[in-house]
């Protein structure tokens, strides 16, 4: 473990959302508010960012990749509108971000990744980014950080009918309709969504003579989906829920700037069903939950004879107990997870199956004055009878002053080899070891009122991580094979600040964040390897974001800019993509019609400066583009008599 970066264990910014937030799941019981801690709360000392509701509303028609690109410091490897989007979190690979939907990891067992372009923002009520090593809580893959997508039911909320539509440049059309009936003891809701886009945007082909303006071809997208949720309150203490998310996605895969044309296409279809029973006691909360995921992928290449089909099924069962002791100054969480996955693919001669069982526990302490919180977490997973690396984390948060909080965390992290790594034929390597490493961070977060009208938040985090046995595919004889070769050292500084001025119904906010990420390969992969000590490809060393927003009553206006620095496209850092600055603007206006109806209108523009840029090499990106949308909501509260005593 390197220590040189730990000297300046100071931070700046964690920002408006930078506190180690408690994420209370609040339920009202006989007028007593019982706050049930979530598993995410058992991570002291890590940076947590809750995407605010304004951003969620703005991106309600978009996918998670678009949202995170704009609203988080994650680097999204976006292959173009509607195309594949994966993440690099704090210099990690796409396999190093865990994406959890209501606590269930939705990463594909086949490649260990989530294509963020296939996750609509509307699938969750809130989006939380938990930075840093979370393997002790979430298991394999929670290395750079975790993205938590949660649905939050509100009982006795009444009837809500909501519908929205947007249309935008390049034939982009999106619709959503939802109905939710929320009674004191039951909630039922259904959302359906539909997206289609031609994606035939104009772009400049700088690779051709005279940099001609071309129109993107063969990038059409169609997506349909449904989200159904049911929540029952069995009695004052018990609840049960069931959720179902179905989605199909059909897209054409456009040619790169260097290809003449493409006829490739990809169809994804997924079913995800989850259920959870929970009992809320005075001291002990118990949870039993299960999930069933079935994902299919059909790919047709440009060639006449290239097509691939794969299907993965995952069954997850989990039980968890949370205990509050000593007037809630100590909390204990113990859980058992069993994940069974199997897959069919043209690349797998047999039908690989994998069963993983994990026992995990956390213990959280607050001091008597509740000025500090410390959490220890442990997790041991067994994969098909073999123990995976034992992981743990230790973190602490300390309130230095009423306006200042310090935090630090250290964790053991790991990632298991995927089915492709293990079983792909030819090449799959069944002797692969898990990737394993340490991650640590320390931060300060400040929050204060400069005057009656002005509030300031600022924060900073220093992090570092080492990852050994990093798996890469290298040639071995006639085919490629994955090996535990690389050792990667990632470190960086994240800073964040926001100043807000409010008066009456007007709020003006000016915010910014910056990221500095150095992620280098520390071990030669071959003789003559010039990549040692060099930045990994597609990890921007510098990136930043600035945003000015004005809210005045029902009107909300914002302008923002995102800077992404050089990204190398060769491991010796000799080839690179140029930095880009993307500016965007959004205006929304909320209209209330009576007590029951409301509508919000949204107009936004992207790439205002008409930047000609590439996120990924040779994948064209759109120039300036626009979107307008409307969302109409009807809400009728339940009659008074239905409210519980």
Partner 1 sequence: MSRIRSPFRFLPVAVLGFPLITTILSCRKDKPEQPVETPVTIGNEHGVYITNEGNFQWGNASVSWYNKADGQAVEDLYAPANGSALGDVLQSMTLHGGKGYLVVNNSGKVVVVDQDSFRATATIAGFTSPRYLLPVGGNKAYVSEMQGNKLRVLDLAANAIVGTITCRGWTEEMALAAGKVFITNETRKYVYVVDPATDAVADSIAVSSGGNSIVEDANGKLWVACKGGGGTPPALCRIDPATLQKEATFNFAGSSANPWRLAVNGDGHMLYFLNGDVFRMAIADDALPNSPFIAAEGRNFYGLGVDPGDGTVYVADAIDYTQRGRVFRYSAEGVSINDFPAGRIPGGFVFR
Q: Does 576 bind partner 1 (CB under 8 A)?
A: yes
**How many angstroms separate the Cα of 511 from the Cα of each of 71, 294, 463, 499, 581?**
11, 41, 22, 6, 17
Q: Which residues contact 291 (CB under 8 A, 6 or more apart)?
A: 104, 272, 273, 274, 275, 314, 315, 316
Joined together, the tokens standing for residue 588 give 């929304």
Q: Which is nearer to partner 1, 533 or 553 (CB)?
A: 533
Decide if 499 contacts 510 (C-beta within 8 A): yes
Select the span of 237-245, 347-355, 400-408, 587-595 touching partner 1 (CB under 8 A).
400-408
Q: Where are the beta strands (DSSP E) in 523-637?
A: 542-552, 555-564, 567-568, 576-577, 580-593, 597-606, 625-636
Radius of gyration from C-alpha coordinates of the chain: 24
Q: Does 257 bind partner 1 (CB under 8 A)?
A: yes
Q: Which is nearer to partner 1, 119 or 577 (CB)?
A: 577
Q: Does 325 bind partner 1 (CB under 8 A)?
A: no
Among 292, 501, 516, 634, binds partner 1 (CB under 8 A): 516
Q: Does 493 bind partner 1 (CB under 8 A)?
A: yes
> Whole-angstrom Cα distance, residue 536 to residue 572?
9
Among 32, 33, 452, 526, binds partner 1 (CB under 8 A): 526
> Whole-angstrom Cα distance, residue 202 to residue 212?
10
Query: C-beta of 524: minimal distance to partner 1 in Å?
Result: 8
Q: Which is nearer to partner 1, 356 or 496 (CB)?
A: 496
Q: Which is nearer to partner 1, 327 or 528 (CB)?
A: 528
Contact flags string 612-641 toward partner 1, x per CB under 8 A = -----xx-----------------------
Q: Which is nearer to partner 1, 353 or 574 (CB)?
A: 574
Among 385, 387, 477, 594, binds partner 1 (CB under 8 A): 477
How many residues touch partner 1 under the rule CB under 8 A: the total is 61
Q: Does 3 bind partner 1 (CB under 8 A)?
A: no
Q: Which residues pair with 351 in a beta bridge?
A: none
Query: C-beta of 258: minimal distance to partner 1 in Å?
Result: 3
Q: How many CB atoms lie within 10 A of CB 478?
A: 7
Joined together, the tokens standing for residue 115 give 């294509």
Q: Which is nearer to partner 1, 351 or 578 (CB)?
A: 578
Q: Which residues pair with 635 in a beta bridge?
A: 160
Query: C-beta of 246: minimal distance to partner 1 in Å?
Result: 32
Asked if the peptide bond before residue 426 counts as cis, ω within 30 degrees of 0, the response is: yes
Q: Which is nearer to partner 1, 516 or 634 (CB)?
A: 516
Select the span of 144-152, 255-263, 358-366, 549-557 touching partner 1 (CB under 8 A).
255-263
Report the SS3 class of residue 217: coil
Binding to partner 1 (CB under 8 A) within 10-29 occurs at 10-12
Q: Which is nearer to partner 1, 24 or 475 (CB)?
A: 475
Q: Nearest to residue 398, comparing CAs of 360, 366, 430?
A: 366
Query: C-beta of 575: minimal distance to partner 1 in Å?
Result: 7
Q: Which is nearer to partner 1, 334 or 532 (CB)?
A: 532
Query: C-beta of 567: minimal distance to partner 1 in Å?
Result: 9
By DSSP bridging, strand 97-101 and strand 145-150 are parallel
Query: C-beta of 486: minimal distance to partner 1 in Å?
Result: 10
> Whole-angstrom Cα distance, residue 79 to residue 263?
17
The CA dihedral of 35, 40, 42, 45, to the nearest 10 degrees, is: -120
Q: Nearest to residue 34, comparing CAs of 282, 227, 228, 210?
A: 282
By DSSP bridging, strand 145-150 and strand 126-131 are antiparallel
Among 305, 350, 386, 431, binds partner 1 (CB under 8 A): 305
**Residue 97, phi then psi, degrees to nearest 5:** -120, 125
Q: How many CB atoms lie within 10 A of CB 173?
A: 14
> Whole-angstrom Cα distance, residue 424 to residue 422?
6
Select the span of 243-251, 301-309, 555-563, 625-633 touching partner 1 (CB under 8 A).
301-309
**Residue 270, phi then psi, degrees to nearest 5:** -140, 145
> Whole-angstrom Cα distance, residue 214 to residue 409?
49
Select the span of 222-230, 279-287, 312-320, 565-573 touching partner 1 (CB under 8 A).
565-573
Q: Does 411 bind partner 1 (CB under 8 A)?
A: no
Helix (H) or strand (E) holding 55: helix 53-58
Q: Which is nearer to partner 1, 256 or 380 (CB)?
A: 256
Contact flags string 225-254 toward partner 1, x per CB under 8 A = ------------------------------
Helix (H) or strand (E) holding 70: helix 64-71
Report the SS3 class of residue 415: strand
Binding to partner 1 (CB under 8 A) within 429-468 occurs at 444, 446, 458, 460, 462
- Tokens 């807000």 correspond to 500
Among 400, 555, 592, 609, binds partner 1 (CB under 8 A): 400
Binding to partner 1 (CB under 8 A) within 528-547 occurs at 528-531, 535, 537, 540-542
Q: Which is nearer to partner 1, 218 or 633 (CB)?
A: 218
Among 572, 610, 642, 644, binds partner 1 (CB under 8 A): 572
Q: Does 515 bind partner 1 (CB under 8 A)?
A: no
- Tokens 């049930």 correspond to 36
Contact flags string 181-210 toward partner 1, x per CB under 8 A = --------------------------xxx-
Among 42, 89, 463, 568, binds partner 1 (CB under 8 A): 568
> Whole-angstrom Cα distance, residue 37 to residue 285?
9
Select the span of 359-367, 381-389, 523-531, 582-590 touching partner 1 (CB under 8 A).
523-531
What residues make contact with partner 1 under the rule CB under 8 A? Answer: 5, 7-8, 10-12, 207-209, 256-260, 303-306, 400-402, 404, 444, 446, 458, 460, 462, 472, 474-475, 477-478, 493, 495, 516, 518, 525-531, 535, 537, 540-542, 565-566, 568-576, 617-618
């Amino acid at each position: 473990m390197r220590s040189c970066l730990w000297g300046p264990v100071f931070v700046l910014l964690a920002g408006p959302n930078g506190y180690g937030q408690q994420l209370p799941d609040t339920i009202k019981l006989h007028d007593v508010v019982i706050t049930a801690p979530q598993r995410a709360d058992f991570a002291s000392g890590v940076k947590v960012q809750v995407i605010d509701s304004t951003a969620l509303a703005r991106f309600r028609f978009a996918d998670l990749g678009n949202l995170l690109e704009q609203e988080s410091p994650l680097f999204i490897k976006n292959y173009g509108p509607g195309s594949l989007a994966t993440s690099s979190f704090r210099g990690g690979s796409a396999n190093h971000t865990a994406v959890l939907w209501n606590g269930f990891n939705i990463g594909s067992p086949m490649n260990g990744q989530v294509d963020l372009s296939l996750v609509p923002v509307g699938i969750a009520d809130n989006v939380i980014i938990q930075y840093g090593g979370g393997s002790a809580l979430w298991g394999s893959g929670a290395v750079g950080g975790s993205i938590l997508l949660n649905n939050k039911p509100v009982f006795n909320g009444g009837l809500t009918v909501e519908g929205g539509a947007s249309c935008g440049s390049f034939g982009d059309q999106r619709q959503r309709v939802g109905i939710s009936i929320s009674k004191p003891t039951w909630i039922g809701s259904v959302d359906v969504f539909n997206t289609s886009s031609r994606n035939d945007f104009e772009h400049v082909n700088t690779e051709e003579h005279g940099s001609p303006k071309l129109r993107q071809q063969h990038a059409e997208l169609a997506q349909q989906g449904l989200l159904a949720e049911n929540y029952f309150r069995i009695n004052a203490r018990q609840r049960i829920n069931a959720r179902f998310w179905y989605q199909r996605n059909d897209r054409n895969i456009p040619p790169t700037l260097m290809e003449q044309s493409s006829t490739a296409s990809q169809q994804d279809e997924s079913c995800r069903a989850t259920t959870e029973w929970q009992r809320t006691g005075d001291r002990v909360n118990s949870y039993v939950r299960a999930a069933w995921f079935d994902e299919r992928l059909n790919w047709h290449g440009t060639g006449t004879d290239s097509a691939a089909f794969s299907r993965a099924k995952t069954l997850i069962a989990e039980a968890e107990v949370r205990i509050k002791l000593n007037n809630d100054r100590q909390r204990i969480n113990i859980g058992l997870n069993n994940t069974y996955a199997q897959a069919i693919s043209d690349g797998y001669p047999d039908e690989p199956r994998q069963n993983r069982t994990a026992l995990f526990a956390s213990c959280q302490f607050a001091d008597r004055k509740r000025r500090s919180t410390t959490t220890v977490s442990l997790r041991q997973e067994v994969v098909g009878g073999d123990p995976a690396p034992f992981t743990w984390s230790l973190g602490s948060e300390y309130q230095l002053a009423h306006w200042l909080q310090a935090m630090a965390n250290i964790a053991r992290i790991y990632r298991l080899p995927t089915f492709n790594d293990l079983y792909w034929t030819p090449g799959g390597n069944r002797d692969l070891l898990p990737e394993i490493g340490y991650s640590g961070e320390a931060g300060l977060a400040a929050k204060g009122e400069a005057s009656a009208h002005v509030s300031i938040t600022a924060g900073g985090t220093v992090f570092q991580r080492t990852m050994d046995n990093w798996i890469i595919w290298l040639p071995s004889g006639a085919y490629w094979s994955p090996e535990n070769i690389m050792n990667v050292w990632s470190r960086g500084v994240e800073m964040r600040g926001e100043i807000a001025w409010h008066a009456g119904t007007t709020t003006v906010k000016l915010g910014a964040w910056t990221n500095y990420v150095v992620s280098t390969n520390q071990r030669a992969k071959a003789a003559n390897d010039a990549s040692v000590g060099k930045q990994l490809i597609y990890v921007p060393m510098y990136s930043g974001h600035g945003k000015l927003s004005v809210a005045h009553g029902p009107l909300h206006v914002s302008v923002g800019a995102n800077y992404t620095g050089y990204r190398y496209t060769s491991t010796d850092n000799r080839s690179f993509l140029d930095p880009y600055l993307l500016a965007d603007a959004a205006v929304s206006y909320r209209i209330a019609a009576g007590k029951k109806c409301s509508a919000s209108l949204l107009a936004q523009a992207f790439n205002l400066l008409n930047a000609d840029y590439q996120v990924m090499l040779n994948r064209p990106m759109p120039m300036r583009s626009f979107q307008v949308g409307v969302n109409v909501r009807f809400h009728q509260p339940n009659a008074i008599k239905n409210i519980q005593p």
